[in-house]
Amino acid sequence: MRVGILTGGGDCPGLNAVIRAVVKVGARRFGHEHVGILRGWKGLIEADAEPLTPGDVSGILARGGTILKSSRTNPFRDDDATQAALDGFARLGIDALVAIGGEDTLGAANRLHAEHGVPVVGVPKTIDNDLSGTDFTFGFDTAVQIATEAIDRLHTTAESHDRVMVVEVMGRHAGWIALYSGIAGGADYILIPEKKPDIDGLLSAINQRHARDLDYSIVVVSEGVDLGDAGGQGELDEFGHARLAQQGVGDRLGVVIREATGYDTRVTVLGHIQRGGSPSARDRVLATRFGTRAAEMVQEGLYGRMAALRGDTVADVPLAEAVGTLKTVPPAFYDLATPFFG
Binding string to ligand F6P for residues 211 to 240, with x set by CB under 6 A, is what? ------------x-------------x---
- Number of neighbours of residue 225 by Cβ within 10 angstroms: 24
Q: CA torsion 323→324→330→333, rounded to 10°? A: -20
Give least dist CB 271 to ligand F6P, A.
8
Residues 239-298 contacting ligand F6P, CB under 6 A: 243-245, 275
Closest distance of CB 223 from ligand F6P, Å: 6
Give the residue with the Cβ less far from ligand F6P, 54 or 271. Answer: 271
Task: Choose the catalytic residue: 11, 87, 104, 128.
Answer: 128
128 is known as an active-site residue:
yes
Work out how close the CB of 143 gets to ligand F6P at its nearest, in angstroms, rounded to a whole number: 8
What is the full DSSP assignment across 210-244?
A: HHTT---EEEEEETT---S-------B-TTS-B-G
Is 28 or 243 the residue whose CB approaches ligand F6P more closely?
243
Q: Give ∠ CA 51-55-60 in degrees, rounded to 5.
A: 95
- Asked if residue 122 binds ligand F6P (CB under 6 A), the reply is no
Q: What is the DSSP string of 61-118?
A: TT--S-TT------TTSSHHHHHHHHHHHHHTT-SEEEEEESHHHHHHHHHHHHHH--
Provide, rounded to whole angstroms, the least separation between the CB of residue 117 and ligand F6P: 28
Residues 91-120 that bind ligand F6P (CB under 6 A): 102
With CA atoms as reference, report the closest residue to 139 among 129, 131, 147, 149: 129
Q: Which of 171, 182, 185, 254 binds ligand F6P (CB under 6 A)?
A: 171
Shortest Cβ 102–ligand F6P spacing (Å): 6
Instruction: Give the number of residues in contact with ligand F6P, rule: CB under 6 A.
Output: 14
Q: Which is nearer to ligand F6P, 57 or 244 (CB)?
A: 244
Sheet strand arrangement including 265-269: 189-191, 217-222, 164-169, 265-269
Q: Report in angstroms how near the CB of residue 326 gets to ligand F6P at its nearest.
A: 11
Tell me whether residue 216 is exposed, middle or buried, using C-beta atoms within 10 angstroms of its C-beta: 0 to 12, 13 to 18, 19 or more: buried
Residue 111: φ, ψ to 5°: -70, -40
Residue nearer to ligand F6P on the CB measure, 15 or 170: 170
Is residue 172 part of the contact set for ligand F6P (CB under 6 A)? yes
* 10 near ligand F6P (CB under 6 A): yes
The answer to whether residues 318 and 304 touch, using CB atoms and an 8 Å cutoff, is: yes
Q: What whole-number distance in Å separates Cα of residue 182 and Cα of residue 339?
A: 13
**Residues labelled catalytic:** 128
Chain residues in the site for ligand F6P (CB under 6 A): 10, 102, 126-128, 170-172, 223, 237, 243-245, 275
